[in-house]
Structure 1
Amino acid sequence: MTVSDYSFFADVAATGLILGIGRGSTMQEVEDSLGGDYLDDHGDGFIRRDYGLLEITFLDRNGWSCGFIIVEVHRLAGDRSLVPPAIEARYGPLPARLTAGPYFTALTKRGFGPERVADDSASDYLRYVIPATECVIDVVDDPQDVVGWPGFGEVWSLSLNPLSKSGMNAPR
């Protein structure tokens, strides 16, 4: 895997944005950036928009705005076609798996080294945060391999959410 294979994931962690959208973006801004191919899940005071690789949750706070984003890296192991076309057009094909060691090295070279966060609620994961962007990175810490899923030492997800300073993650 080359450094360019990590570009999308490194940009997310280092900027807190995906193609210019992030927390606070409107539904229209997200659709303008990522397109209209998504599924909506409506809840009480939130709408979760599933773009395959991404889950973007909008909160109703005097109008709908993005509250948090989860990059569901583990989904790529089963279906690399889940990458939104706008992301693939910018970054090219994404890898099916993201190994934490080389990814963290790429982040550190950019000046965004991850810091370990203690979190007893995620026993099968090690949790890291990029303090500057509040990006939470969950890494599989279970040595038992499950065919078709990320294994030990591979990234499960990236989360951009306001709860990350406490080490807590948005709901999976």
Structure 2
Amino acid sequence: MLGGGGFFGIVLTPRNVAVLEAALEFGAAVSLDFGVASGSVSVMAGIYFRLEADTGECRITGYFRARGEVDVLGIVSASIELCLDLSYESAGGTVYGRARITISVHIGFWSQSVTLECEKRFAGSGPPPQPLAAGSPEPVRPPTFAEMMAPYPDPVTGLRRDPVDEYCTAFASVR
């Protein structure tokens, strides 16, 4: 039910340690079988680290993965997988997050799978954009964290909304 794993890798050259790499993963998995129907759910989280000594580049990633599946008589099955990760790469000082969800359905000899992915790069990470040639469109700068969390007018009602207050009150108990 509970498990995990990991690895440690090292690349040595005659002169130095070239690459250090390590990962740790932990989580839980449960499966049930009722004869005609079976299913399983697993949730895993982990961290991955890589350091290249020659270039000094470093990458660290934290991730979360959840998967569930169900099968009925081997004729109909469905599965869903959600993967989230947040990474930092020192080469460009880049911080970014990725999300992916995959839904698969199998009925007899027919199967269909759909995957949706998105990535968000955070402002302030990485070097500033380079100047463009004359006539080129300006690069789109992602908003800073402070800009994303600043109060804004609601596009429908025009009332002032504060994302921080909304987040905090979502967890407040009303008595």
TM normalised by structure 2 equals 0.24
Which of these two proteins has the greater Rg computed from alpha carbons?
2
Structure (1 or 2) with the greater helix fraction:
1
TM normalised by structure 1 equals 0.24
